[in-house]
């Protein structure tokens, strides 16, 4: 038995060293999300070894949520405690502040670790009564099973309540064992933050160091940060900037003020050689609004959907030596005429990339009709025109009845 324990400890140390090396070697210039993708040995440890808590397998996100069907929308969110404090020159915590150690003792049980088949991140319990856990969308995106581990090591199967890629937020639900009480964070007011205000960050860096605490200050309250998407477009988010140490696996974790209030959801850092102390979090005021939508409706209402899957193709001209891009619709849910076609303009604006296309329709709303000009699957050809009526974007997990 002792021999097996030594082997397990040795394997855990090796896995941690590998995680550190992957984290260091994977850095690149630019803002990056903080999900920690696990190698096979780490994934096994995360999903099978429960530490001191109750061992459980990961659950499907489509199973019964355990909610009382009689609960109304207001009932689903009323257990979330949100501050209504007035602005203060002293910041979101005002003058009623604690020492760092007191803040940690007060809030640490509300921060959880989240494990999926391919990675690990963090989350925060925002309702003890109903078991709502807020995290980042990129922590759970593409997964269908989630395990939430509490600070005491106990583990729970979680179900997906809702997710929103634009805000990078998601809500999971866990149901505590009979007689067990969860600890929820109290939400502060990020609009009251001031530059220089002290903060505490708690999360699961590297996906193996759950409950890690770091401290820092608010470096900026409304920093515009750009993220590159897989289709070549760019998403711009307004985030809180901090110098507190954060790493991969911290995504979905908590940023608290010195009153012990949750004022941000950690989601990114800037990584580049010679750059340190540039971490970012989603302001809790925005996160609260999105969370209420996800809890009550399971998605954020009013987001327009054109039904197109876009692909930006790059090529260089042999004769001119220039570098160009063209835009294709590889799939079209609402207008089959566009499938496989090259899009050249939308609403009269020439486009040659997904980023240009999204900028051209950025101000359109559900119910609007957009006009698209396209040619056949080639770089030349006659131009045709068609239209698409924008519908409300409904996530697949809802439309499929999950």
**Residues that are catalytic:** 138, 168, 251
Residue 98 tokens, joined? 């604690």
DSSP-assigned states of every residue in 188-255: --GGG--TT-EEEEEE-GGGT-TTEEEEEEEEEEEEEEEEE-TTS-EEEEEEEEE-S---TT-TT-EE
Identify the three-state secondary structure at position 3.
helix
DSSP 8-state code for residue 110: G
Q: Which residues pair with 254 in a beta bridge?
A: 202, 265
The answer to whether 35 and 250 have CB atoms below 8 angstroms apart is no
What is the secondary structure of 288-312 as a DSSP string?
A: HHHHHHHHHHSS-TT-EE--EEEEE
Is the separation of the CB atoms in 148 and 164 below 8 Å?
no
């Amino acid at each position: 038995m002792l021999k097996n324990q030594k082997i397990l400890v040795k394997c855990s140390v090796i896995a941690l060293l590998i995680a550190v090396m992957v984290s260091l070697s994977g850095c690149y210039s630019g803002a990056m999300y903080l999900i920690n993708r696990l190698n096979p040995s780490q994934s096994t440890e995360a999903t099978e070894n429960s530490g001191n808590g109750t061992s459980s397998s990961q659950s499907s996100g489509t199973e019964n949520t355990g909610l009382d069907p009689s609960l109304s929308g207001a009932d689903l969110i009323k257990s979330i405690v949100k501050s209504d404090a007035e602005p203060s020159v002293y910041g979101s915590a005002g003058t009623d502040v604690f020492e760092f150690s007191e803040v940690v003792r007060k809030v640490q049980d509300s921060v959880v670790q989240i494990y999926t088949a391919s990675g690990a991140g963090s989350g925060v319990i925002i309702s003890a009564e109903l078991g709502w856990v807020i995290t980042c969308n990129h922590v759970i995106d593409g997964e269908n099973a989630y395990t939430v581990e509490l600070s005491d090591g106990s583990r729970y199967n979680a179900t997906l309540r809702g997710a929103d890629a634009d805000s990078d937020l998601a809500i999971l639900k866990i149901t505590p064992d009979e007689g067990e009480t969860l600890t929820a964070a109290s939400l502060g007011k990020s609009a009251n933050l001031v530059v220089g205000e002290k903060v505490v960050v708690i999360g699961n860096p590297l996906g193996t160091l759950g409950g890690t605490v770091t401290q820092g200050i608010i470096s900026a309250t409304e920093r515009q940060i750009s993220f590159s998407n897989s289709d070549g477009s760019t998403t711009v988010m307004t985030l809180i900037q901090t110098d507190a140490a954060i790493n991969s696996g911290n995504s979905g974790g908590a940023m608290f003020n010195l009153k012990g209030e949750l004022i941000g959801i950690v989601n990114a850092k800037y990584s580049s050689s010679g750059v340190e102390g540039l971490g970012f979090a989603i302001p809790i005021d925005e996160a609260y609004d999105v969370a209420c939508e996800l809890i009550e409706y399971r998605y954020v209402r009013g987001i327009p959907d054109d039904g197109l899957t876009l692909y930006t193709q790059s090529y260089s001209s042999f004769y001119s030596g220039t570098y160009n891009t063209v835009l294709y619709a590889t799939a079209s849910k609402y207008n089959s005429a566009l499938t496989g076609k090259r899009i050249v303009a939308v609403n009269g604006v020439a486009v040659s990339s997904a980023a240009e296309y999204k900028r051209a329709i950025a101000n359109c709303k559900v119910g609007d009709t957009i006009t698209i000009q396209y040619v056949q699957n080639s770089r030349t050809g006659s131009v045709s025109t068609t239209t698409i009526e924008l519908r409300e974007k409904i996530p697949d997990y809802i439309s499929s009845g999950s």
